[in-house]
Amino acid sequence: MSEITKSDSGSVILHSKKIHASYGASEIVTHLIDMALIGIIIFFYESEVGLNIWLITLGYTIYMVWDAFNDPLVGYLTDRPFKFTKKWGRRFPWMMIAYIPWLISFLLIFTPPSSNNQWLLFGWLVFTLCLYDFLESIFTVNFFALYPDKFRDKDERVSVSAFIVYLGFFGIIGAFIIPGLVIKFGDIGSYFIMALVIVVICLVCLIFMIPGLRDDPESVEKYLAKFEKTETESFFKVLKEALRQKSFLVFLIMYICYQSLTALMTASLFYFVRYVLEGEAIVTVILMLAMLGGGAISVPLWMRYNKKTGDTRKVMLVGGIVMVCFASLMSAFTNLTFVVIITLLWGMGLGGYWVMYRVIFGEVIDESVVINEKRQEGTYNGVRIFFSRSAGVIQVVTIAVVHVFTGFDSNVSTQTDLALIGIRLHMGLIPAMIMLVGLLVFWKYYDITPSKAKELKDRIIVLGL
């Protein structure tokens, strides 16, 4: 099969499975580096570095304020053409410019000063997180913006999403296998080695990612031709347009709740393994392999279910409900065997949700194109990423509040019964309840039906976008 073909209508570019896999390979990197950071950062700075949990919370808050300006602005700025756009594409150059500096900034987070000065450690945390976020935003905003622009056919979006899920699972598993194999509790240097191993893997992945990250020349030419006829609007006007779109707002609420669920459970895992299960870091590998197994088994089943129903909304809701049920059960068990089984079943729910949410977001972008008669994927992705970062604040504030009220003490190896209950709560029940709120909002207010999604695609063809 050729790398690029035309659909039956001749209006939509279709790509080979090789390109699907190449684009999906980028998800190995984004999940490997992001999930490793989310899963370890709070535990590392609180339990290993010795930074006060409230200073960590303050650092996250500053990071989020920075993010409030950074992500949407990056999206807005990269939505416009530059001198290199015609030759190199809209999204590809930005991703290549940011990639290696982004990896370096990840390393810096795990090289805090050898000092007991709380404010020095706090300053390092804030500086490295903000640098990391700026460079990550340049890459991820353009990576996600490329998806609805490059892959416009519904069936192709599902196919690409499946590659993303399978390859992304390897990223998530790597984010726990590598720390589990390398990290030694009490040895700060082992965390830097862990980060270095992850960076090397990401550099190798870059070779496979490049074909899938390139813009389609035909799409770039259409964009440039349309842009010349369109007046440039201010950033705040574009932001206002995005937030006025009902489907986008509903998606954002649901997505924030999903990110909060995964962020809280991920950040809780090392606490859960070390203090509740009383295991070594290697136990996180067992749990992540169980999640991978559940996801790998379930993805073909979810795709078949989606093909049968033709309703991505329904598939994502069912997957989300499965996640909520088994996340809740994580708070109920302390036996490793039962926890492994629950994690496997939770992974099966994640597989369904994960396959469909990108397809849903693609529909939201399609509606924005029809409403505004222009492509602004970068701005929409910038806003999406900004709001998803609020999940990080929910994550760290939840853990901080629970630890304070249950008497968690990072200076001792054995916690009180109340502190252990607190860890179990922010490992399962609390994130499950947050996710349930998002699913209820999505079920009640998301209004892009399968027939409406088809009408949007037909209208985009007429608009020549």
Buried b (16+ CB within 10 A) or exposed e, 355-375: bbbbbbbbbbbbbbbbebebb
> To the nearest whole number, what is the mean pLDDT of the chain?
84
Can you give the pTM of this predicted structure?
0.69
Number of residues assigned to the chain: 465
In whole angstroms, what separates CA 81 from the centre of its chain? 26
Please say if the pLDDT value at position 229 is more than 70.
no
Q: Which contiguous run of DSSP H or E holds residue 318?
A: helix 312-329
pLDDT in tens, 330-376: 999 889 999 999 999 998 998 888 778 778 888 888 888 888 777 77
Pick the more confident residue, 396 or 426. Answer: 426
CA–CA dist 271, 267 (Å, integer): 8
Spatial distance between the Cα atoms of 341 and 330, rounded to a whole number of angstroms = 10
Residue 303: which residues within 8 A CB-CB, separation 6 or more?
Answer: 158, 162, 355
Read off the pLDDT of residues 429-454 as tens digits, 9 standing for 90 and up. Answer: 999 999 999 999 999 999 888 888 88
Residue-wise pLDDT tens digits, 66-118: 876 777 777 777 777 777 888 888 888 999 999 999 999 999 999 999 888 99
Q: SS3 for 324-346, per residue? A: HHHHHHCCCCCCHHHHHHHHHHH
DSSP 51-90: --HHHHHHHHHHHHHHHHHHHHHHHHHHTS--TTHHHH-S
Tens digit of each residue's pLDDT (9 = 90 or more) over 204-226: 999 999 998 888 888 778 777 76
Catalogue all structural domains in the chain, each as residue range(s) with its CATH number.
21-219+235-463 (1.20.1250.20)
